[in-house]
Amino acid sequence: MAGSKKIGVLFVCLGNICRSPLAEGVFRHLVIAEGLEKHFLIDSVGTSSWHVGEPPDERGREAGLIAGFDIGGQRARKITNKDFEKFHYILAMDQTNIRNLRQRVPEEHQNKIDFLLNHSASGIQEVPDPYYGGVDGFQNCLALITEGAEGLLETLMVKYFPDHRP
């Protein structure tokens, strides 16, 4: 992206307090490790307004801290129509998120929507909702999300920064 616009990457789940805030945190952590943060616009949203303004779930924040990044400053928000224009990659956690997004995204932006885990080689497509469960659920989520985020960054680096060395 020679001197042009930032690459917009938006992670989406239902409440924006469990899975997508972790995806935002992991992906940002990976991008910073590559020294590429100035080239990216990274955010996360929910398809619902249920938890707008709330910080990420404590269990997810804890999982992030153990993995070396802090998502405690993030706050939940609901997706807006502007997000479909602003972001180039809109990565959902599960099939319900995809259905909700497809219902409201304008035709010209439909191709931005994908499962995050389509970027991992795990063969698993959905990040399960960890809201009604214990800490284990968040560890499992983080492992899946990390695989997806690593695969996504690899794809984007090949496409936009083929000669990059960290």
Helix (H, G, I), strand (E, B) or coil at 81: helix
Using CB under 6 A, count the residues that bind ligand 4NP. 10
Residue among 18 and 91 whose Cβ is closer to ligand 4NP: 18
19 carries an active-site annotation: yes
Residue keyed to tokens 């936009």:
160
In terms of DSSP bridges, do strands 89-92 and 40-46 run parallel, antiparallel, or are they unpaired?
unpaired
Scanning 16-24, 32-40, 106-114, 154-162 for contacts with ligand 4NP by CB under 6 A, the matching segment is 16-24
Residue among 22 and 36 whose Cβ is closer to ligand 4NP: 22
> From CA 42, how far away is CA 37, in angstroms rounded?
9
Residues with Cβ within 8 Å of 80's Cβ and at least 6 positions away in sequence, in order, are 45
- Report if residue 15 touches ligand 4NP, rule: CB under 6 A: yes
- Report if residue 61 touches ligand 4NP, rule: CB under 6 A: no
Residue among 49 and 155 whose Cβ is closer to ligand 4NP: 49
Q: Which of 60, 61, 69 is nearest to 141 (CA)?
A: 60
Token pair in block for residue 81: 């129509």
- Report if residue 129 touches ligand 4NP, rule: CB under 6 A: yes
In terms of DSSP bridges, do strands 89-92 and 113-115 run parallel, antiparallel, or are they unpaired?
parallel
Of 13, 28, 57, 83, the active-site residue reads: 13
- Report if residue 112 touches ligand 4NP, rule: CB under 6 A: no
**Any idea which residues carry the catalytic annotation?**
13, 19, 129
Applying CB under 6 A, the residues found at the interface with ligand 4NP are 13-19, 50, 129, 131
